[in-house]
Amino acid sequence: MIKLKSLGAKVVKHLLLIAYLVFLVFPLVWMLSTSLKPTPEIYSATPALLPLAPTLEHYVAAFAEKNIGLSIWNSFRVGGIATLAVIVLALPAAYALARYKTALNKAALGWILTSQIFPAILIMVPLYLVLRRMQLTDSLTGLSLVYIVWSLPFVLWMLEGYVRGIPVELEEAAAIDGANRRQIIFRVLMPVLMPAIGAAALFTFISAWNEFFFALVLLKNQELITLPVDLARFTGMEGQARTGPLAAASFIATIPSLLLFGFLQKWFSAGLTSGALKN
């Protein structure tokens, strides 16, 4: 009887996992299917899950009518710059917060966590005024700076929790061998922190890659717009979207995130869990 109950629990567990997987994957499958369907088939009264007559016309239209290639490159640029800068800034700062117990550090960590509750629209006007004074509006440099500031608090909090979980004896042994503070951080702790760094890099890049609101407000030059803003242009003035090209462009936009997550999923899981639990 106990074995039957255990077997039944396992079956239910696997069925729930399969249902959850279908729930997660179905939108992506439907988007890919829609991008491969001819226009009449998309607007059919009874659309099929799989395209009956697959076509690449919507992909051709997306690249021909919109400057998707340039907007993809712009998103890669701001995402890459933001990711690199956040990791370089957050790593030594997280080390300082974790290793030096002062009232200022505790206040800084509290402010970091509090800053995450502010919605983006609340800071948009002062942020725009600051960037305009710095002559960084309508530039990828200014947008990258915004993404750095926006992602840094969470990444700093995550890395701080992970650094705190590393034994201090590891650093003391390196110091006895003659390593200075910079060498301890980048040569001793860096390999141990790679899971957290991978998670932080993934979070920062995907946040910048998918971000829409800041890019919409700050960028006016059509040569500088990022991919999320470019995708919005497939929707007409009256809200009527060109479903086929929009689905094709949206599927293209998901590919880098899927590839990056697939490559770093082990780092992401280990780093995010450790950063949360070791706080």
Kindly state the average pLDDT of the residues 37-46: 81
Higher pLDDT, 142 or 121: 142
Rounded Cα distance, 244 and 56, in Å = 10
- 86 pLDDT above the threshold of 80: yes
Q: Is 235 helix (H, G, I), strand (E, B) or coil?
A: strand
In a domain? residue 11: yes
Question: Is residue 257 located within the same domain as residue 178?
Answer: yes
Q: Which residue has the tokens 């094709």?
A: 248
Look at the chain and report how many structural domains it folds into. Answer: 2
In a domain? residue 263: yes
User: Where are the strands (E) in the chain, listed by range?
Assistant: none
- Please identify, among 11, 26, 55, the residue that sits at the C-terminal boundary of a domain: 55
Question: Is residue 106 located within the same domain as residue 133?
Answer: yes
Question: Is residue 37 located within the same domain as residue 154?
Answer: no
Query: Which of 195, 119, 114, 125 has its CA nearest to residue 157?
Result: 114
In a domain? residue 62: no
In a domain? residue 220: yes
In a domain? residue 184: yes
Rounded Cα distance, 132 and 143, in Å = 12
In a domain? residue 61: no
Question: Is residue 255 located within the same domain as residue 127?
Answer: yes
In a domain? residue 46: yes
How much helix, strand and coil, in percent to the nearest 5, is found in the chain? 75, 0, 20
pLDDT digits (tens, 9 = 90+) for 18-31: 888 888 888 888 88
Question: Is residue 125 located within the same domain as residue 43?
Answer: no
pLDDT digits (tens, 9 = 90+) for 188-240: 777 778 888 888 888 899 889 988 889 988 888 888 889 888 888 777 655 56
**CA-CA distances (angstroms) from residue 168 to 17, 95, 268?**
40, 11, 24
Range of the domain at 251: 67-277
Question: Is residue 48 located within the same domain as residue 71?
Answer: no
Cβ pair 148, 85 in contact under 8 A: yes
Q: How confident is the model at residue 42 (pLDDT cuts 50, 70, 90)?
A: confident
Number of neighbours of residue 152 by Cβ within 10 angstroms:
21
Question: Is residue 73 located within the same domain as residue 40?
Answer: no
Question: Is residue 98 located within the same domain as residue 230?
Answer: yes
Torsion sign (Cα): 122, 126, 129, 130:
negative
CATH number at residue 222: 1.10.3720.10
Question: Is residue 131 located within the same domain as residue 224?
Answer: yes
